[in-house]
């Protein structure tokens, strides 16, 4: 019930002709590849696109990104959470809201509020209510029209992370248990927002995954 009350504070953009999308999933879920495909597809259909990643996307946000991902000491979950929210509020003000006013535009976000729900709400144990409560106010209460949650298993994530082989950042060095909480968290969050979040099996080949996403996206174009 508390969740329903909190959900009532949220809204989707009411800017006819523009679309707000986000991609979510744990490390190795293939967000970057899929975002590139979607960008290409909507541009061919005459849309202007703006793709952004969180945290970051503004000068201030990139400083916060570094502060979090390169932190050498464990941050308090609330400190972590507020840094992500500060980056998000600035990104909304500087980039997302102005671009949504452009006719025939698509804003694509690589991570957004559902990352905070899964990572800080579930895995860092702050709770979904706390995270939603912190997003109650304008502009943080703006939700995408559609969120694609690319759902992969722990095994697929570990294999893909090992294949990349790059240096592990703050979250990538977490243990398996943390990732299991994240997977559970994302699946729970998808059930909290069933109209907005589409959970897609992403343990498949990238082409099959894009075909599924594009089939769904058609209704928004």
Q: Which chain residues interact with ligand TYD by CB under 6 A?
A: 27, 31, 53-55, 69, 84, 110-111, 115-116, 119-120, 171
Return the number of the residue (47 or 122) whose C-beta is nearest ligand TYD. 122
State the nearest-atom distance from the C-beta of 174 to ligand TYD, in Å. 9
State the nearest-atom distance from the C-beta of 64 to ligand TYD, in Å. 10
**37 touches 210 (CB < 8 A):** yes
Return the number of the residue (14 or 70) whose C-beta is nearest ligand TYD. 70
State the nearest-atom distance from the C-beta of 143 to ligand TYD, in Å. 14
Contacts of 138 (CB under 8 A, 6+ apart): none
**203 touches 152 (CB < 8 A):** yes
Nearest residue to 151 via CA among 19, 17, 23: 23
Return the number of the residue (47 or 92) whose C-beta is nearest ligand TYD. 92
Residue whose beta carbon is closest to ligand TYD: 119
State the nearest-atom distance from the C-beta of 116 to ligand TYD, in Å. 3
Return the number of the residue (48 or 156) whose C-beta is nearest ligand TYD. 156
Spatial distance between the Cα atoms of 110 and 112, rounded to a whole number of angstroms: 7
State the nearest-atom distance from the C-beta of 62 to ligand TYD, in Å. 11
Question: 142 φ, ψ to 5°?
Answer: -90, 120
Spatial distance between the Cα atoms of 121 and 24, rounded to a whole number of angstroms: 15
Return the number of the residue (31 or 146) whose C-beta is nearest ligand TYD. 31
State the nearest-atom distance from the C-beta of 68 to ligand TYD, in Å. 7
Spatial distance between the Cα atoms of 62 and 83, rounded to a whole number of angstroms: 11
Q: State the greatest distance between any 2 C-alpha atoms of the chain, in Å, as a whole number.
A: 46
109 strand-pairing partners: 22, 52
């Amino acid at each position: 019930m508390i969740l329903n009350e909190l959900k009532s504070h949220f809204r989707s953009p009411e800017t006819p002709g523009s679309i707000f999308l986000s991609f979510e999933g744990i490390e190795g879920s293939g967000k970057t590849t899929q975002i590139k495909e979607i960008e290409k597809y909507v541009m061919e259909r005459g849309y202007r696109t703006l793709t952004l990643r969180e945290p970051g996307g503004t000068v201030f946000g990139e400083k916060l990104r570094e502060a979090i991902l390169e932190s050498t000491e464990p941050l308090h979950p609330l400190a972590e959470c507020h840094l992500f929210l500060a980056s998000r509020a600035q990104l909304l003000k500087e980039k997302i809201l102005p671009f949504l006013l452009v006719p025939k535009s698509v804003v694509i976000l690589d991570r957004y509020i559902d990352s905070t729900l899964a990572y800080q709400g579930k895995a860092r144990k702050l709770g979904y209510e706390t995270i939603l409560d912190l997003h109650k106010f304008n502009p943080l209460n703006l939700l995408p029209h559609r969120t694609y949650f690319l759902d992969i298993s722990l095994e697929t994530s570990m294999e893909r992370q090992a294949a990349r082989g790059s240096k592990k950042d703050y979250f990538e060095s977490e243990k398996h248990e943390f990732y299991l909480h994240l997977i559970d968290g994302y699946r729970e969050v998808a059930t909290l927002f069933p109209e907005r979040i589409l959970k897609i099996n992403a343990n498949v080949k990238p082409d099959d995954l894009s075909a599924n996403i594009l089939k769904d996206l058609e209704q928004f174009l």
